Chains A and B, each alone.
Chain A
């Protein structure tokens, strides 16, 4: 067992685990008694981010928290530092947004209350699983949380019950199951070599070699499949086509990124010096940026544009691998900060964009881009939200997307890896292309429109707040970046 650098205080530990488990309990409660109004739900969930905020404050003051649970002979490790705390905070804020949005969404799509009730326990399970993924520090806990997250996500995608949703969900299920077997095989090899499962122990005992590389390759394959990184992204766009908006928002914002987070942690601990493999991941990311952008540009339906843009934006995260492998400390710090800032910015902007797109489609009653003609006059509010979220996705100042890409650009130039500069430029141009294509369709003036369906005001407000938060994160990036720096790289 590793020596614990900081003995966690009982109060902090208790607060952390209560904050992790509360969403599941609330979800079960909401299954039985589905919430009818947005405001009570807001009041019930708001203590969660506040508790995490307090934890973050404690972490900033007294260093990171670590701990071990023992389950008989089995030891389970967890750890909370600045980065993990910020990710937890982000998860809870997005949970708050999507849960509140879902209440309005159910009223707007007029689905039976019983049909929609299944959404709540799955949402709670998903939030708990995400939280555990952020704080887990051994492969067994990560495996449990990853599977819980995947199964909850599949379940939520199936809820609409339409044929397209079922087919897409079935494909997602098969891919996710096989991905987790690849992950399990990788874990088996690591366990065979070193005999341990905790991350710090693995980092200390595994030697670089053929078996470690193969184990990492299998782990990476499973995680890349779950993270929908090019060329394993085939399941992503169909799944979003028929999913409910709050599900899409949470999935595009966080679920795919949890796998990326796990991969980054394992990579940093097991094969930090594998430059060739890191470049391969970077190249995959570059292709994702280009391919996702092109497909988003070509897509016919509004939700497909947003889903394909996720494929592209995830590619930027992969650029961190070559910039962190064997580069100078200055480059690594820049790339590290850029990656997590990009993750947070994209999470909020993508959730906002899915919600804005969902609102547009619901209100206009049409999902195709060409049918959006004339919405600029009738639905200015969701369209403006879409535009603000797009500012972050394109990486225009003053958004957090701009700050993240600026840091990434600096890192790439400083390291002399010019290829990524070209990728960043191409990605920005492509995202501008697909965003302006949507806006151009919406601003066609001579179209005659029928009535639009009125939506609860809260739905538009939540989307707008998220989009503004992504914009504001760029201005107030100092606080999270300081926390990430203090938390440091693994």
Chain B
């Protein structure tokens, strides 16, 4: 596989992640996420991990997608949640979260640079590793930003899922598609699915109870 061949799916992944996290239209964002998960599945396939590809397609794309749609109110006669995210975070709010996200990203960047720079990678298939690591970092950055910034719970769930995919890509890029890596990613996918299902169900209940789509007042988060 040559570099340009790797570059195209990698940039498409980053683009879809950005589309999923930036779009205020929640339905479109969910669809972008499903496309993103399918592309992730393709990435696992190309890394010689067919089982992982299958699980990613089933759990990551299909079931998580269904859970997200359920959270939005589909399938049903009409959506119970407004499709448009109207929540706006005031400027300069939650600086601690921003700081945490930034520290996280810096640490990950330095460590990845440290490992790949020293040629310490366990297997040295450089050509496929570098795009994987770069894509993983970019997707993780998007996910961290969105998780720190968004208020709407569905968008935070999307951000968590994208962040998780970024971590999985880094994991594969750092240690190759070994059996340990596949085991870790499998567990991670199952956990992400359960978290998404639980979160979407909770969001729908909360919205039905008092019409909220966010966690509410920041004050009690700082307590």
Binding site for B on A (CB under 8 A): 72-74, 140, 143-144, 147, 151, 154-155, 158, 163, 166-167, 169-171, 173-174, 177-178, 180-182, 184-185, 187-189, 191-193, 195-197, 209-211, 214-215, 217-218, 221, 234, 237-238
Contact = CB atoms under 8 A, between A and B. Distances in A.
A211 B167 contact: no
A171 B215 contact: yes
Contacts of B104: 182, 185, 218, 221
B72 to A, nearest CB: 16
B160 to A, nearest CB: 5
B202 A195 contact: no
Instruction: Rank and list the top 4 A-B pairs by shortest CB-CB distance, nearest first.
Output: A192-B174, A188-B171, A214-B111, A195-B122
Given A170-B153, A192-B115, A143 B198 contact: no
B179 A72 contact: yes
Contact of A187 (B114, B184, B209): B184
Interface string B101-121: 000100110111011000011
Contact of A170 (B194, B206, B223): B206
B125 interface: no
Contact of A234 (B110, B179, B222): B222
B163 A181 contact: yes
A74 B111 contact: no
A237 B210 CA distance: 22
Contacts of A147: 187, 191
Given A74-B180, A189-B174, A195-B122, A167 B115 contact: no
Given A140-B187, A181-B164, A189-B112, 10 more contacts: A173-B198, A173-B199, A174-B160, A181-B160, A185-B170, A189-B111, A195-B175, A197-B180, A214-B107, A214-B111
Nearest to A231: B96
16 contacts: A166-B209, A167-B206, A177-B191, A178-B163, A181-B167, A182-B104, A185-B104, A188-B167, A191-B171, A191-B184, A192-B121, A197-B180, A210-B114, A214-B108, A218-B104, A234-B221
B93 interface: no
B149 interface: no
A153 B13 CA distance: 34
Chain A interface mostly: helix
A209 B115 CA distance: 11
A101 to B, nearest CB: 26
B216 interface: yes
A144 B187 contact: yes
Chain B interface mostly: helix
B84 interface: no
Nearest to B222: A234
Interface in B157-184: 160, 163-164, 167, 170-171, 174-175, 178-181, 183-184
Contacts of A155: 198
Contacts of B110: 210, 214
Contact of B198 (A154, A181, A193): A154
Interface string B182-223: 011001100110110011001101100110000110001111
A467 B54 CA distance: 51
A166 B206 contact: yes
B44 interface: no
B38 to A, nearest CB: 21
B147 interface: yes
A217 B108 CA distance: 10
Contacts of A187: 171, 184
B68 to A, nearest CB: 15
Contacts, number: 128
A189 B210 contact: no
B107 A217 contact: yes
A211 B111 contact: yes
B184 A143 contact: yes
Nearest to A215: B111
Contacts of B192: 177
A450 to B, nearest CB: 31
B199 A174 contact: yes
Interface in B56-112: 104, 107-108, 110-112
A187 B187 CA distance: 13
A211 B221 contact: no
B156 interface: yes
A218 B101 CA distance: 12
Contacts of A185: 104, 108, 167, 170-171
Interface in B113-137: 114-115, 120-122
A211 B179 CA distance: 22
A140 B115 contact: no
Given A140-B183, A191-B180, A197-B180, A151 B209 contact: no
Contacts of B108: 185, 214, 218
Given A184-B171, A188-B171, A191-B175, A167 B215 contact: yes
Contact of B122 (A140, A173, A192): A192
Given A140-B184, A167-B215, A189-B174, A184 B120 contact: no
Contacts of B121: 192
Most buried by A among B175, B198, B203, B210: B175
Most buried by B among A144, A185, A217: A185
A447 B202 CA distance: 42
A238 B210 contact: no
A315 B211 CA distance: 38
B120 A193 contact: yes
A191 B199 contact: no
A174 B156 contact: yes
B183 A211 contact: no
Given A163-B206, A218-B107, A177 B179 contact: no
B209 A177 contact: no
A217 B170 CA distance: 17
A188 B175 contact: yes
Given A182-B104, A184-B188, A234-B223, A169 B202 contact: yes
Nearest to B212: A167
Contact of A151 (B164, B171, B191, B222): B191
A166 B206 CA distance: 7
Nearest to B160: A177
